[in-house]
Structure 1
Amino acid sequence: MRKLFFFAIMALSVTLLSAQQDKKEVDMPRKHNVNRLSENYFIPERFQGKSILITGGARGIGKWTAIRAAKEGADVVIMDWLEEDGRHVADSLSRLGLNVLFVYGNIQKDEDCRRAVDETVKAYGKLDYACLNAGVMDGVFSGTPFDYDEAQRKLMPNVITQATDEYWDKVFATNAAGTFKSMRAVLNRMIEQGNGGAIVVVGSIAGMTGLSGNPAYVASKHAVNGLVRNAAIDYAPYGIRINSVNMAETRTPMVERAEEFVAARQKAGVGFGMGKIKTMSLLKYCDSEHRGSFPWEQASTMLYLISDEASAITGSIIATDGGWTDY
């Protein structure tokens, strides 16, 4: 009898435990992906009568910023050193009846930056806003296909003790000096006009934290964010707001090439793989397909920051990184 009683109690316990587990599974909230912004979304006439200069507008985030700005009524000038791609974007949008011009130029050159500003004013009569998007992750010209050969390797990211001067100098020439020169050209015009304005600069999580094996990119993006903070103070009296956006992985040609580079290094057995410590933002990790952000999502925040909707925001280093820098 005692054995039967014992087995009956055990069976009842198992049944109750199973029921509790079933109930927990029923009560457990279902996971859900973040509702993603449609690439076709825009706010009609938000920038009607406003002119916007976008550097690095031939591809990636800059391209999508130009597309949405034009749809929202802006008079857009794209500046880029990728002439074929830049003209294609401008021509495609112009054929839709949108006001978009392309100016070939390299933000490393002061004369090119001033010329892009002058062309904007010549075409549209003024310069209201600027999206300083142009930037690089390595020293290889961004229009060159990736090839893990000796010529490109010396221009690619590496730890400090193995990084070359040429890699460091080329990354800083675009990211730090180029951002400085393009911002200076824009600010000079805005001050001369006397009507205020707004500038948004593309930083990176690399400007807010460290990233393994890419010292020039990290240091140059910290420089960019330092420049934004400094400029916000000096130009607030002129009614000019200046902020930066700082994204984690976004689906752009620059990121795609970086992934090719990392894969090639891993295949060659180079390094200790410290970059593997953290590879996803919060939102990418929780996404059912582990998707990073899309360039039109970044464009949305950039255009918000230059719009009057963000009139109380300046000097902000805004993380548009899906929670990367949150933990």
Structure 2
Amino acid sequence: MIKLALSLVASAALITGIASTTYALDIEAIPDNYYVPGRFDGKTILVTGGARGIGKASAIRAAKEGANIVIADVLKNEGEETIQEIRKLGKRAVFVHADVSKTTDCDRMVDIAVKNFGQIDGVLNAAGVMDGIPPDAKIDIEKQKKQLFAPIHEATDEYWNRTMAVNATGMFCSLRSELRQMVKQNNGGAIVNIGSIAGLTGLGGNPAYVASKHAVSGLTKNAAMDYAPYGIRVNSVNMAATKTAMTQAAFKKVSELQKDRAKDPELAKIPNTSFIKSQGLLQFSDSKHREATPAEQASVILFLLSPEASNITGATWATDGGWTTF
């Protein structure tokens, strides 16, 4: 009975969110420098959106594991800096300045990859945006409102069109160029697309992002069906909060918008359902409520690109710390 009573007390404490951190056991993130030697020896991996964040972490680790790397990104300076980091490791890498929403740029990034390394063995499609604001722009909410995420009745064409152009059309254009080459090679391969929890559930206040990431989930499944006979596996990873420049910028934008909302007495009365849930299971349970790291996401991405995932295709992996569990 004593053990049962203690168990019930502990359960009640957890339910009310007041569990003592004395009993918490934090899960350590995989080290940023962890890698599997030789896993991609002789392979070439193309990474869109590889200039920073998850794409960069994946590109650097894949290079350490033996891959030749091609990074395609609209962020020229950061992209070239990442290439230099890889070359300093004694690995081969090239940068392509590209906007994935443009067919010509997608065709060119594939052509450059083939010209430099002969073929494409794996792809990480990581290019994406949260809204219509350029990824390297300094945040100025007042000047950027037309490009900023907003509920549907307040959303603009500028916000919707650019978000969809990069995340949905850009994913289609990237896949089309990549798959044409991989089919031509007739040597199989693997593709991983970066989605989001917003591609598996709703995410309040950002309809274009949600719609575009659901498109990523659909394209992933469709490509998996069409290209399995060619030995090409296609999967997606769908993360919650991960510590990257894009998510940090998004948090800042949300904070500024909340301050703006609070100035209007009528808006302030309306419950903001966007914040019903703000953390996944692991983030909530962590004593510091840490976000996922790019290295944690890269670990799953490279597993899915590797021969170790030989029986996985068409999957939308929730790399979200338990966000979509409840």
Give the TM-score normalised by structure 2: 0.91
Tell me whether 1:230 sits opposite 2:251 in the alignment: no
Tell me whether 1:289 sits opposite 2:282 in the alignment: no
The residue identity in structure 1 corresponding to 2:212 is: S
Tell me whether 1:177 sits opposite 2:169 in the alignment: yes
Match of 1:69?
62
Partner SS, residue 28 of structure 2: coil
- Map residues 141-220 of structure 1 onto 2, 5 A cutoff: 141-150=134-143, 152-220=144-212
Partner SS, residue 192 of structure 1: helix
Pick from 45, 48, 58 the counterpart of residue 55 of structure 1.
48
Residue 166 of structure 1: how far off its partner (Å): 1.3
Tell me whether 1:46 sits opposite 2:39 in the alignment: yes
Larger Rg: 1
The residue identity in structure 2 corresponding to 1:276 is: F
Residue 117 of structure 1: how far off its partner (Å): 0.7
Equivalents in 2 of 1:276, 1:127: separation in Å?
A: 42
- Map residues 1-327 of structure 1 onto 2, 5 A cutoff: 30-150=23-143, 152-269=144-261, 272-327=271-326
Identity of aligned residues (%): 50
Residue 295 of structure 1: how far off its partner (Å): 0.6
Equivalents in 2 of 1:263, 1:40: separation in Å?
A: 33
Equivalents in 2 of 1:118, 1:214: separation in Å?
A: 35
Residue 31 of structure 1: how far off its partner (Å): 2.2
More displaced 10-residue stretch of structure 1: 213-222 or 29-38: 29-38
The residue identity in structure 1 corresponding to 2:91 is: L
Equivalents in 1 of 2:203, 2:259: separation in Å?
A: 20
Partner SS, residue 192 of structure 2: strand
Unaligned runs of 5+ in 2: 11-19
Equivalents in 1 of 2:86, 2:29: separation in Å?
A: 24
Equivalents in 1 of 2:180, 2:53: separation in Å?
A: 27
Partner SS, residue 250 of structure 2: helix
The residue identity in structure 2 corresponding to 1:325 is: T
Aligned residue-pair number: 306
- Residue-by-residue CA offset, 1:223-246 (whole Å, 9 max, x unaligned): 110011111001111000000000
Give the TM-score normalised by structure 1: 0.90
Equivalents in 2 of 1:257, 1:145: separation in Å?
A: 9
The residue identity in structure 1 corresponding to 2:204 is: S
Partner SS, residue 149 of structure 1: helix
Equivalents in 1 of 2:261, 2:226: separation in Å?
A: 48
The residue identity in structure 1 corresponding to 2:139 is: F
The residue identity in structure 2 corresponding to 1:177 is: T
- Residue-by-residue CA offset, 1:250-280 (whole Å, 9 max, x unaligned): 0011101101111101111265422221000
Unaligned runs of 5+ in 1: 1-16
Equivalents in 1 of 2:103, 2:258: separation in Å?
A: 39
Match of 2:16?
none
Partner SS, residue 304 of structure 1: helix
Residue 99 of structure 1: how far off its partner (Å): 1.2
Partner SS, residue 235 of structure 2: strand
More displaced 10-residue stretch of structure 1: 92-101 or 119-128: 92-101
Large movers: runs of 4+ above 3 Å: none
